[in-house]
Amino acid sequence: MVVNCTKVNKPLKPQQDSVLQSISRYLDWESENGFDGVVLVKTPGNEPMIRSYGYANKEQLIPNSPETAFDIGSITKQFTGAAIMKLEMNGKLSVDDSIGKYLPDLSPDKKMITFHQLLTHTSGLPTDIGSDAEVITKDVLLTRLNGTPLLSAPGTDYHYSHVGYNLLGILIEAISGTDYENYLQTNLFKPAKMKYTGYRTPDWNATSVAHGYRFCNDWGGPMDAGWLEDGPSWSRRASGGMLSTVSDLYAWHEALLGNDILDEKTKSKYYYPQKPVKIDNVQSSGYGWRIIKTTRQTNVIAHNGWNGRFYSDFLRYLDEKVTIILLSNKYRKGNQSIPYEIAKCIFWRGYQPQLAGSLTQCLDSLPDNRLGKLAGRFLTLLANGTEKDFKDFSEKCLSSQMIQKFGNDTLVNNLWDLQKRTGPLKIRQIMITDNQQMNIEVFQLSNNKEAFIQLFFDKNEDYKIRGFRFDSTEQKN
């Protein structure tokens, strides 16, 4: 069975320019190759174009739409940065303050870290404290933080840190006297007229919350695992895990163009800190943003976010009045390239966008094509192949590159060894990505253990097998 996707789109008006028509056709093409999500594109002189693809919930056939709420990952950091800047604008702190002034129980090496260093990932803190699977409280986070050595002296090196933003969330609570989400709702989201952005506060029953999909599996909604009663684990709070819609993020963009939330002086510092921090030759760190220098010598204020299921990107070309927002609820290679292909359509006259993604087909049985027949022969070998069968398979079905690298005798021996470990197999599910990779979930009939076979095909040699891998849950245990 192939899982198909549904497109839900508002037709483009005939008077809209050819660039938007080209972008729309390109997004349709990406959808046909597996993209699920919502994309907003705003260009000068046009209303925002919003295109929606696939399902927020495939089982219930709920389509993605401009009002669908997605896990936006590290785009959350820009809200944390804005909250700190709001507190500074109101005289509650200075970004040059040492955080020990507000959290006196921190260990001595952490007390001297400044807000600026946390905001620009130069605090010396590690990437994470705690795994995605853990659900930890604020107190546990602080205890672990105090016992964790710094990677470098504060202010010396750039090292992207989720935990630095977790700590900023704790600081926002300590200074404001209210919880992190309530502060953001009161001071950022409500003034920006954002209805469906937050953790627990919005009425999620009034809109669709997208499930996250990885390959063929539904991982459920963002709140189904890893959350405390009042929001996500503190290993993600204030650094990620926020839910939002493409419509709300565009409302946030528009609110930041005005001065009701942050004034001009504060916004300038928000994007361009007084102590600049370079990430590389074209990127520098804002407060929850990355500032990227374009080939036109303009800046794009941007950030993305992902967790292996959801992917989001937010590009704001303020000088050129272009905004691109992408929210996806399905893991797929190439999602991160789509916003930049759209940007090239806008800024490069006559640019023909290139397909970024790879389509993953989900099947219950082997397809009736070249790939399916090769995979079938491979599985038959593992079930009851003879020495002659293995030699014949190696000569006719394995790529010349693989034979030259390992040698025919070695490959035959490897196949023999694999047969001893597997024996007959029953197919559970098949995933084919871009006709170059096949993942086969199987049961080993000898012991009913789950196993996983990965086959790689060489498109330059009639899709002969150029690599294989076997993994069994029995070995892991």
pLDDT in tens, 111-152: 999 999 999 999 999 999 877 678 999 999 999 999 999 999
37: nearest Cα among 65, 2, 11, 12: 65
**Is the model's pLDDT at 11 over the cut of 60?**
no
pLDDT of 387 reads 87
Q: Does the pLDDT at position 319 exceed 50?
A: yes
Split at pLDDT 50, 70, 90, the class of 16 is low
Q: Would you say residue 44 has pLDDT above 80?
A: yes
Is a pLDDT exceeding 80 seen at residue 417?
yes
| pLDDT-based confidence at residue 448 (cuts at 50, 70, 90) | confident
Tokens representing residue 347 in the block: 């800024």
pLDDT of residue 151: 97
Q: How confident is the model over 297-307, as pLDDT tens digits? A: 999 999 999 99
Euclidean distance between CA atoms 415 and 391, whole angstroms: 10
More confident of the two residues 175 and 423: 175
Rg of the chain (C-alpha set): 25
Tell me, what's the pLDDT at 421? 86
Q: How far apart are CA 379 and CA 348, in angstroms?
A: 49
pLDDT of residue 381: 92
Mean pLDDT of 94-108: 97
Q: Which residues pair with 303 in a beta bridge?
A: 314
CB contact at 8 A, 73 and 310:
yes
- Cα-based distances in Å from 42 to 118, 248, 315, 316: 32, 14, 11, 10
Nearest to 100 by CA among 167, 176, 184, 180: 167
CA distance 357 to 442: 26
Domains of the chain are: 70-347 (3.40.710.10), 361-476 (3.10.450)
Higher pLDDT, 476 or 306: 306
Of residues 469, 465, 472, 467, the one with CA closest to residue 445: 472
Q: Are 42 and 322 in contact (CB under 8 A)?
A: yes
Q: Tens digits of per-residue pLDDT, 193-212?
A: 999 999 999 999 999 999 99
From residue 264, give the alpha-carbon distance in Å to each of 94, 241, 258, 260, 341.
17, 28, 8, 10, 31
Q: Letter for the amino acid at 196? A: Y
Confidence of residue 75 (pLDDT cuts 50, 70, 90): very high
Asked if residue 171 has pLDDT above 50, the reply is: yes
pLDDT in the model for residue 36: 96
Q: Between vectors from CA 438 to CA 213 and to CA 70, what angle results, nearest 5°?
A: 10
Share of the chain above pLDDT 70, in %: 95
Furthest C-alpha separation in the chain: 81
pLDDT digits (tens, 9 = 90+) for 372-416: 999 999 999 999 999 899 999 999 999 999 999 999 899 999 999
Look up the pTM and report it: 0.85
Q: What Å distances lie between residue 34 and 54, 110, 215, 372, 398, CA to CA?
A: 9, 45, 10, 20, 29
Residue 464 pairs in a beta bridge with: 458
Per-residue pLDDT at 7 exceeds 80: no
What pLDDT does residue 6 have?
Answer: 46
**Per-residue tokens: 120:** 């620009």
Alpha carbon of residue 91 to chain centroid: 35
Residue 358 has pLDDT above 70, yes or no: yes
Mean pLDDT for all residues in the chain: 92
- pLDDT (0 to 100) of residue 25: 95
| Residue 330 Cα to chain centre, angstroms | 9
pLDDT of 5 reads 40
pLDDT at position 8 over 70: no
Place of tokens 């919350």: 209
pLDDT exceeds cutoff 70 at 265:
yes
CA distances to 238, 243, 428 from 183, rounded to whole Å, are: 12, 16, 48
Give pLDDT, residue 444.
87
Distance in angstroms (rounded) separating the CA atoms of residues 441 and 454: 9
Type of residue found at 236: R
Helix (H), strand (E) at residue 42: strand 37-42
- Is the pLDDT at 464 greater than 50, yes or no? yes
